Amino acid sequence: GLEYKIEDAGGGKYRLAFGDDVETLPFDGKDHPTKYGNTWAITQTGPNKWKWTRKRDGKVIAVSDWTVSEDGQIFSSSRESMRPDGSTSHEKLKFKRTDGSSGLVGNWETTEVKMTSPATVEIAKWQGDGYSFLDPAYKERTNFKLDGKNYTPTGPRVAKSTTVTAKKIDDHTMELTFKLKR
């Protein structure tokens, strides 16, 4: 049940809230910078269709096609992501409308998620009592200890000023909190 909220922010701009992550930009097909160091370009391609292109350092990293059903109750997203290792991943999501009446503007909740190219994450011990998470496809590494201190993840698509803190919840659970300082 991930929630997406799309609002008309006025002046030709839209506010997109994916969970607690929010960006505001126009749907004019031009590249607009985001807080994570990427650019987003969203273009309406039909009466109920949009194309969302994300870039990092001028290179396309993902393209999504969005469609709202004729009755306005289902929002579908099909995305292809280009990984730094040269492979691609594919994702299809379906959402049901929980608020709003037509078009893309409204509140949406996921009803279906299909990942056709799952990710692999390697977990290892790091510096004695720490841990290292490595995502080979995205060339990202997160080294941390369960001490509540800030650690800096690395990789070509990690946003500048990102930190992670970690704490032990119980013998089988740890909680990682990623933060972006702006």
Integer CA distances (angstroms), 137 to 18, 56, 60, 118, 167, in order: 23, 16, 16, 10, 26
Distance between CA atoms of residues 44 and 84, nearest Å: 28
C-alpha distance across the termini of the chain, in Å = 28
* CA distance linking residue 77 with residue 79, whole number of Å: 6
Residue 51 pLDDT more than 90?
A: yes
Is residue 1's pLDDT more than 70? no
Averaged over 135-143, what is the pLDDT? 89
In this prediction, residue 18 has a pLDDT band, given cuts at 50, 70 and 90, of confident
* CA angle (97 as vertex; 96, 100 as ends), nearest 5: 170
- Is 70 exceeded by the pLDDT of residue 156? yes
Q: What percent of the chain has pLDDT over 70?
A: 97
Query: pLDDT at position 161, please?
Result: 87
Higher model confidence: residue 23 or residue 136?
23
- pLDDT greater than 90 at residue 165: yes
pTM above 0.85, yes or no: no
Q: What is the DSSP letter of 151?
A: B
Contact indicator for 158, 178 with CB cutoff of 8 Å? no
Identity of residue 176: L
